[in-house]
C-alpha cells in the first residue's frame, strides 16, 4: 500500500466514522482499524485526530458539492434540475454527512471543523438560488419568485427530512417531505412555463 493509498484510506475511514459516531466516537484506534493502517502510518501522514478530522470534513464537503453540482448543472428546466437533486438516491437513515456534523457540538466548537460545514451549506443555498434565478429569467417561474428564500426552504426541507426519517426509523418521512416540497413548487407554475415547472412565488 503506497503512502497516497494509506492517507486516502485514513481519510475515508474518518469520514465514515464521523458520519456514524460523531467526533467523540471517532477514536484514533477506530480510524486505524477501519483503514487497516498502523499507528505509525497515521501519524506519518497526519498530526493527530484533529488534523485527520479536518481533512475528512473537507473531503466530505467536496464530495457533497460534486454530487449536488452533478444534479444542478446543465441547461435543462430549473425545476427538473431541482427535482433531480431532491430525488437523488440517498442513504437517508444515516443522515447527511455534512448536515449531521452541524449538530455535533465538538465540530461546532472547532472553527477549523465548522468552517467547511458552514461554507458547504452556504454554497448549496447559493447554487440552488442561481438555478431558480435562471428559471425565473427564462420565464419558467413567476416574476415574483423569491429565489433566495426558496433555496433556503429546499435546503431546510432536505436537512429536516433527514431528522424526521431518523426519528421514525424509516426513510418515509424524508420522501414525504421532498414530494410535498415538489408539489408545492409545482403548484406555482408561471403561465406559459414548461409543463411541470412550477415555482414557489414570494408570499
Domains of the chain: 60-186 (1.10.357.10)
pLDDT interval class at 144 (50, 70, 90): confident
Strand partners, 189: 141
Q: What is the pLDDT of residue 4?
A: 60
Query: How would you write 60-92 as a 3-class SS string?
Result: HHHHHHHHHHHHHCCCCCHHHHHHHHHHCCCCH
Given this model, what pLDDT does residue 202 score? 41
Beta-carbon neighbour count of residue 184 at 10 Å? 15
Give the global pTM: 0.87
pLDDT above 90 coverage of the chain, percent: 75
C-alpha cell at 139: 420565464
| Per-residue pLDDT, 189 | 65
Mean pLDDT of the chain: 89
Per-residue pLDDT band for 1 (boundaries 50, 70, 90) equals very low
Reference 158, options 136, 127, 180, 187; nearest CA is 180
pLDDT digits (tens, 9 = 90+) for 90-100: 999 999 999 99
Amino acid at each position: 500500500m503506497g503512502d497516497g493509498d494509506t492517507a486516502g484510506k485514513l481519510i475515508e475511514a474518518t469520514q465514515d466514522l464521523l458520519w456514524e459516531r460523531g467526533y467523540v466516537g471517532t477514536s484514533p484506534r477506530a480510524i486505524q482499524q477501519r483503514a487497516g493502517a498502523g499507528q505509525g502510518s497515521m501519524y506519518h501522514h497526519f498530526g493527530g485526530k484533529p488534523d485527520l478530522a479536518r481533512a475528512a470534513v473537507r473531503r466530505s464537503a467536496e464530495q457533497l458539492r460534486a454530487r449536488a453540482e452533478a444534479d444542478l448543472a446543465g441547461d435543462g428546466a430549473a425545476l427538473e434540475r431541482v427535482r433531480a437533486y431532491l430525488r437523488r438516491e440517498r442513504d437517508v437513515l444515516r443522515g447527511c454527512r455534512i448536515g449531521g456534523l452541524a449538530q455535533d457540538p465538538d465540530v461546532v466548537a472547532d472553527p477549523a471543523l465548522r468552517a467547511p460545514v458552514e461554507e458547504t451549506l452556504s454554497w448549496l443555498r447559493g447554487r440552488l438560488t442561481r438555478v431558480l434565478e435562471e428559471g425565473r429569467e427564462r420565464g419558467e417561474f413567476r416574476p415574483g419568485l423569491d429565489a433566495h428564500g426558496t433555496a433556503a426552504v429546499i435546503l431546510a426541507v432536505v436537512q429536516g427530512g433527514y431528522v424526521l426519517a431518523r426519528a421514525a426509523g424509516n426513510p418515509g418521512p424524508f420522501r414525504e417531505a421532498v414530494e410535498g416540497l415538489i408539489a408545492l413548487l409545482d403548484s406555482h407554475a408561471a403561465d406559459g412555463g414548461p409543463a411541470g415547472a412550477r415555482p414557489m412565488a414570494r408570499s
